[in-house]
Structure formats: structure tokens, C-alpha cells
Copies of this chain bind each other. A is one copy, B any other.
């Protein structure tokens, strides 16, 4: 991995001075074009050994280009808001929007590599982390990001020499800390683990560039040229029409019976409902107040269902049982401008609850494989990849302590019609039925197919789907409350 980065590459001053001005102007042009088009973000990851010129190079890139459209972020220790959420949250929140360049120091590679070097994790843990990274980066690529990863390398002797040099010069002495020397002691192990990590994560979509860090001119030109080449290529590609993406055929593993064979006749009489409601609300209240256990956890509830299936009513029976200070309801509608400039899941990531909190999604990230699929709002390839991206997202929530329950509320088509008509008649204007509701209704079968595919592909042991017979509202609400209590009871 690092062999060719230990050869002692250098570039003489004359060559550098000849090449630098042109490179600089070209980079500025490319950056301008990127901002004008606003079609994709450029994300640059910076990793590697200490003293190999990471900081200098980033400063140089900022100097060469227009720093107003570059966001440079260094990831040191996590803040408390960050450490109470899934590990990737802090990176998601700093992703550059389309049209911008983001530079990350100390990215998602730092923890997996360092933890393995220090023996806090084993090979299997490392492998799992790297697999996740590959999937995450593939998602970024699929969402349009141009991802460039630079690893700054120095041979062992070179690093030692470099640290000593920095220490000698009074102007740079501050940069060498005890920690740097401690890290130097484990150089070999660090080299070994990072070589493995780079090998496993260097994909066609997100290749690594290993940069020998010895010579300032060499590393600057290398980074500048790689960056320029990649940006130019991407900018040119965006102007040529992409070949229409052929969708992989959807294997017929769907199980329509799932919805069609539901027993929608199940009912609960009002007196019985009242009693059950009190019972399950009481239990939910107790569980959500379990300071000792729940504060290390969080609860994520997802509500999906056809129009008028009773999502709102069910949510109110849940919030009626818990303290308003502890929950947050996210009604999901069209994404905002800032959200549209980011990968699809960004707007849900930003809502990931801290520990001890409850977040209720009224519609959710499943919009992509439901309405967006059925209405043709996104390419087949985009909603097809969403299944696994969603599974990854939920896995990370669960790893961080979240209890994730997903509900699909199902009524019969006839019952929906009845509710639509009732809503049209009532004067309660907040139950308006729109043209769109009627249009959606016509696509009942397509939605049914989409729902079944969704459940087949995203109902996992860690984040299961619960299909709720919602023909009778009382029955549906109690089943939901009971399910939440049971799921919480399993882990608390």
C-alpha cells in the first residue's frame, strides 16, 4: 500500500514554480464552475501519519482556491451532543452541500483504525467498521458526491526525522506534542492497520491517493493535480447526459399476502378500548420515565400508512402517555432547500434523537420506497439502493441504543373511501381531503406492491416492521401501544 510512498519523491523548485500558477488558476476555475452548477459536492478526506504535511496542504488548498466556498472541518473529541448520538452523526452534520467543497480532517477512518491499533477492538470489529464505511461511501457516491481520499504517508525514519526537525525550529516546536511521540512508538502497528484499512476501502467510487509527505512541493502538486483532474472529469460528465440507468430486475420475493390476508375485522369495543388504553398508556409512561435504563437508550417510532389510516390519532395516543419534554414529533413533508442540497437521508440524520429522548416520525425515510417509487419521483436505481441504505441507517441507530419500531397502518380500500367521504363532510377544516389524496387512492395496487417490498426488505430483527390492522381505530391504537411497550420491555 505504502511502498511507492516511501521512495523519496521530490519536485525541484523550478518545476514547481512553473506548474503552480497554472494549476492554481485551473483549480479556481473548476471551483467556480462547481459553485455555479451547484449539482454536486466535493468531499475531501485527509488522513495519515503526523508530520506528513496534512495541515499545510489543506491550508494551501484554501489559499489556491476561494476559501469562502470551502468548509474545512477538523474532528477532534466529540461534543456531548455528538457522543449521545450514533457515531456517524457528527460527520453527517458536516457534509458539504452541493456546489461546495468540504475538507475533513480526521474522518470516519480515525476511530476504527486507532481503536484497532490500541487493541480496543478486534479484527472482526475493524472489518465490520470498514464494511460500513464502504457502504456509506457508496451511498455518498450514488447521491452524487465527488469523494476524494488522501492519505499522507511517511516512512518510519522519515517521520522520526520530520518530528525532530519540527521540534528544533522554534517556529514549529509547538506542533510536536508528547502524543505525537507516543504515536510514533506504535508506528509499525499503525502502518499495518492503516494499510489494511486503505486496501479494504479503496473502491472505484472512492479511491485512496497515498501521498508521500516528505517533500512539500511534491505533495502539494500531487494533491492539487488529483483534485483538479477529478473535478474536471466530474464537471464534464455532468454535462453529458448520463446513460439511462437500467434497473436491476426486482426479484419476486414480495409477499402480497402480508397485506391481503390481514384480518381487518378485528375490533375493540369502546369500553374495553378505554380500559386497555389506560393500561398501556400507564405502562408506556412508566417505561419512558425509567431514568436508570432509558437514559442510555432512545426510542424511534416510525409511522407509515395509506392516507386516512389513522396515523395522527395513533400518535396522539402515544404522546398522551409521555411527557412533552421528552418527545419530538417530526411530520415529514417536502424537504427544505438546505435538505435538498444533501444526500437523501441527511434530513433524517439531523433529527436523530439524543439518548433518553423519543422521536416520532409521522412519515419517514420510507417515502423514497413508497411515494417516490410509486409516483416515479426518483429513478429505479435510487429507490432500489435505498433499502440497504435504510437498513444501515437503522442499524446505526440501534447500535447507539435506540429502540426502533416501525408501524404500517393498513385499512381496506372501502374503509378509506368511507373516511375520505366523512372528512369531506365534516366542517373540521384541518381534515381537508385534497385532490392528491384522491389521486393516490387510484394507485392502491401499486402502493400495496411497494409496501410489501418495503417490509420484505427492511423488516429486520433489530428494527422490525409491525403491520397494524387499522380498520378499527381502537383495535389499531391498542395494538400499537402494546407493541411499543413490549419492544421497550425487551431491552429495558
Interface on A for B, CB 8 Å cutoff?
A: 25, 28-29, 31-32, 55, 58-59, 61-63, 66-74, 79-81, 103, 105, 174, 289, 312, 315-316, 319-320, 323-325, 327-329, 331, 336-338, 362, 428-430
- Given the interface pairs A32-B430, A58-B324, A316-B63, the reply to whether A68 lies near B329 with Cβ below 8 Å is yes
Interface of A is mostly: helix
Are A68 and B29 in contact, CB atoms less than 8 angstroms apart?
A: no
Chain B residues with CB below 8 A from A323, complex form: 55, 59
- What residues of B have a CB within 8 angstroms of the CB of A428 in the complex? 25, 28-29
In the bound complex, CA of A357 to CA of B327 (Å): 33
CB distance from A318 to the nearest CB of B (A): 9
Cβ 8 A contact of A319, one of B62, B103, B316, B429? B62
A128 to B79, CA, bound (A): 31
Nearest first, the 5 closest Cβ-Cβ pairs linking A and B are A32-B430, A74-B325, A72-B324, A68-B331, A337-B337
Which chain B residues lie closer than 8 Å to A319 at the CB level? 62-63, 67
Question: In whole angstroms, how far apart are the Cα atoms of A176 and B399 in the complex?
Answer: 33
Known: A61-B324, A63-B320, A67-B315; 7 extra A-B contacts, CB below 8 A, are A29-B428, A32-B430, A63-B319, A70-B324, A72-B325, A74-B325, A338-B338
A303 to chain B, nearest CB (A): 10
10 A-B contacts (beta carbon < 8 Å): A28-B428, A28-B430, A32-B429, A67-B324, A67-B329, A68-B312, A70-B329, A72-B324, A79-B80, A337-B338
Residues in B with CB closer than 8 Å to A31 are 430
Q: How far is the CA of A329 from the CA of B68 in the complex (A)?
A: 5
Q: Given the known A-B contacts A62-B324, A72-B324, are A29 and B316 also in contact in the complex, defined by CB atoms under 8 Å?
A: no
**CA gap between A289 and B25 in the complex, in Å:** 30
Nearest chain B CB to A370's CB is how many angstroms away? 19
Q: Which one, B55, B79, B325, B331, contacts A325 given CB within 8 A?
A: B55
Given the complex of chains A and B, what is the CA–CA distance between A223 and B74 in angstroms?
47
Contact A174/B289 with A79-B81, A323-B59 known, Cβ cut-off 8 Å: yes
Q: What is the bound-complex CA distance between A31 and B429, given in angstroms? A: 11
Distance between A448 CB and nearest chain B CB, rounded to angstroms: 26
Q: Output the residue of A31, A103, A430 with the most chain B CB within 10 A.
A: A430
A316 to chain B: closest residue by CB: B67
Complexed CA–CA distance, A105 and B174 (Å): 46
CA distance A362 to B68 in the complex (A): 8
Please name all residues of chain B whose beta carbon is closer than 8 Å to the beta carbon of A55 when the two chains form the complex: 323-325
Chain B residues with Cβ below 8 Å from A289 are 174
Query: Please, which residues of chain B bring their CB within 8 A of the CB of A338?
Result: 336-338
Question: Within the assembled complex, what's the spacing in Å between the Cα atoms of A72 and B322?
Answer: 12
Cβ–Cβ < 8 Å partners of A331 in chain B: 68-69
- In the complex formed, the residue of B with least CB distance to A285 is B171
Given A312-B66, A316-B63, A319-B62: A71 in contact with B430 (beta carbons within 8 A): no
Taking CB atoms, residues of chain B closer than 8 Å to A25 are: 428
- Contact among B59, B68, B320, B429 for A324, CB-based, below 8 A: B59
State in angstroms the CA–CA spacing of A80 and B78 once bound together.
10
C-alpha spacing A68/B318, complex, angstroms: 12
Name the distance in Å between A315's Cβ and chain B's nearest Cβ: 7
**Residues of the B chain whose Cβ atoms lie less than 8 Å from the Cβ of A73:** 325
Least CB distance, A82 to chain B, in whole angstroms: 8
Instruction: List chain B residues, Cβ under 8 A from A61.
Output: 324
CB-nearest residue of chain B to A324: B72
Residue in A68, A74, A429 with the greatest tally of chain B CB atoms within 10 Å: A68
Tell me which residues across on chain B come within 8 A of A328, comparing CB atoms: 71-72
| Complex Cα gap A325–B320 (Å) | 46
Which residues on the B side are within 8 Å of A316 (C-beta)? 63, 66-67
